[in-house]
Amino acid sequence: MKLAVPQERRDDLCETTKRFRQAAQLVADRAFERNDDGYVITSKTKLHELTYQQVREATDGLNGSSPTSPGVYAGVVDTTPTPLPPHKPDGAREVHARPEREP
């Protein structure tokens, strides 16, 4: 999906990217703190359980459509469908006529 970001909304996009990276780093840091057995936590579900509240608080929600700020990022994503190239069935190829041979 192509982003069509108006100039006046670019700061919003940069802030969202910054918060997303912050959230990802918090989760990665927790994973490498290891669990009680000393192993790195690789379960997405377990990491979610351990970090959800911390990430929400640290990133001020990181949700542009939360009840406190509905539609903050409305108009930033261009939802106009992009035309697809003509469909060819699997294995289809263009067939060109062979030139005739001279006798």
Taking a C-beta distance cutoff of 8 angstroms, is the pair 52, 58 a contact?
no
pLDDT higher than 80, residue 30: yes
Residue 67 has a pLDDT of 44
Q: Where are the alpha helices (DSSP H) in 1-103?
A: 10-32, 44-58
Write out the two tokens for 63.
């949700």
End-to-end C-alpha distance for the chain, whole angstroms: 56
Q: How many domains does the chain have?
A: 1
Residue 34 located in a structural domain? yes
Whether residue 12 is contained in a domain is answered as yes
pTM above 0.85, yes or no: no
| Residue 55 CB burial class (10 angstroms; 0-12, 13-18, ≥19) | buried
d(CA 4, CA 76): 6
* 48 located within any domain: yes
Predicted pLDDT at 2: 78
Say if 45 falls within a structural domain. Answer: yes
Predicted confidence (pLDDT) at residue 17 exceeds the cutoff of 50 = yes
Structural domain includes residue 33: yes
Tens of pLDDT, residues 34-76: 888 899 999 999 999 999 999 988 887 666 544 444 445 455 5
